[in-house]
């Protein structure tokens, strides 16, 4: 039995996307123990992943914090990992490689760099979709991949009947009108108009709800929807995933909850402006579709409502 390390730091959407790759790594190493290195926001989440034996915390302190770096590397070395799957593929994780396995080939350290096609540079390769890149990386590392391009995030849900009973929600449309403050280009501004159209068409058939994150609770007051919280606090990832799974329909900006929706099989729609493409981030699924426009400000609530209404009818 060998010890295998997977590295995946974040973000939430990337965590959901990596579920298939993690499953494939585990199923190709059934006689080995799978460890995963991640950051604090996802430490408890990955503890519930059925394909991981143990989770290791990386505080991701600055690289010039040599004392922290020394003890992290020392801790990792004690496991005597026979192979590392770098699913983060960042400059930081490449820095770790240069410390832990400076001369390793793809047989020991699997990353987008170590498995890069000979006829492409990194910039060209990164034009492929996220899941295509992960699938290529794992195949080049000798794995059979059955799940990488169709990740399943359903393992990250738990019973939230108490919360649903408290808010008296059964059939509901879930909206995610939020985005990171530094990524306002992802934000569609017409959610309240959409809510008005939904109520006019469906009356009380569906409740309109949202699930703000910790920094979004105040912003949720500007949205004419019921904000779902847990005793005044934002839902954790397990609760959020369950709320998404139980929804009748989701409308979201290109954020982490949108990726969760895509990879739990829920029905919904995500709205893309010019910041990237849906293909590149591998978000469109059988039940989860996309509207792509050059300017989100000009995307009308009527157009979004039409897609929502057709899906629910």
Domains of the chain (ranges; CATH) run 3-149 (3.40.50.2000), 162-312 (3.40.50.2000)
Identify whether the C-beta of residue 252 lies closer than 8 Å to the C-beta of residue 284: no
Residues (pLDDT < 50) of the chain are none
Going by the DSSP 8-state scheme, the letter that residue 215 receives in this structure is T
* Residue reference for tokens 């994150």: 213
- pLDDT for position 276: 84
- pLDDT for position 119: 82
Neighbouring residues of 243: CB distance < 8 A, sequence distance ≥ 6: 160, 163, 174, 209, 211, 228, 235
pTM for this model (two decimals): 0.93
Of 170, 169, 194, 180, the residue nearest 251 (C-alpha): 194
- pLDDT for position 149: 97
Record the tokens describing residue 236, joined without a space.
């954790």
Q: Quick: pLDDT tens for 205-251.
A: 999 999 999 999 999 999 999 999 999 999 999 999 999 999 999 99
């Amino acid at each position: 039995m060998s010890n295998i390390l997977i590295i995946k730091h974040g973000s939430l959407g990337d965590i959901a996307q990596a579920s298939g790759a993690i499953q494939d790594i585990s199923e190709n190493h059934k006689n080995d123990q799978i460890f995963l290195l991640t950051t604090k926001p996802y430490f408890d989440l990955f503890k519930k992943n059925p394909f991981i034996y143990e989770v290791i915390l990386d505080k991701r302190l600055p690289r010039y914090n040599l004392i922290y770096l020394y003890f992290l590397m020392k801790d990792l070395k004690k496991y005597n990992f026979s192979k590392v799957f770098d699913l983060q593929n960042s400059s930081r994780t490449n820095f770790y490689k240069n410390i832990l396995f400076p001369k390793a080939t793809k047989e020991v350290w699997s990353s987008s760099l170590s498995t890069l096609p000979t006829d492409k540079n990194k910039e060209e390769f990164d034009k492929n979709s996220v899941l295509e890149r992960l699938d290529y990386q794992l195949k080049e590392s000798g794995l059979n991949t059955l799940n990488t391009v169709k990740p399943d995030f359903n393992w990250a849900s738990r019973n939230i009947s108490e919360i649903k009973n408290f808010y008296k929600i059964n059939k509901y449309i879930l909206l995610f009108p939020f985005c990171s403050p530094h990524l306002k280009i992802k934000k569609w501004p017409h959610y309240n108009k959409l809510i008005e159209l939904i109520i006019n068409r469906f009356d009380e058939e569906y409740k309109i709800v949202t699930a703000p994150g910790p920094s979004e609770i105040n912003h949720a007051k500007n949205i004419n929807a019921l904000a779902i919280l847990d005793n005044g606090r934002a839902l954790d990832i397990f609760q959020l995933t369950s709320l998404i799974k139980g929804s009748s329909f989701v409308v979201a900006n290109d954020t982490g909850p949108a990726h969760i929706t895509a990879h739990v099989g829920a029905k919904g729609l995500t709205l893309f402006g010019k910041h990237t493409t849906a293909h590149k981030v591998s978000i469109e699924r059988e039940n989860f579709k996309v509207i792509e426009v050059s300017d989100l400000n000009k995307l009308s609530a009527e157009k979004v409502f039409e897609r929502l209404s057709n899906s629910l009818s």
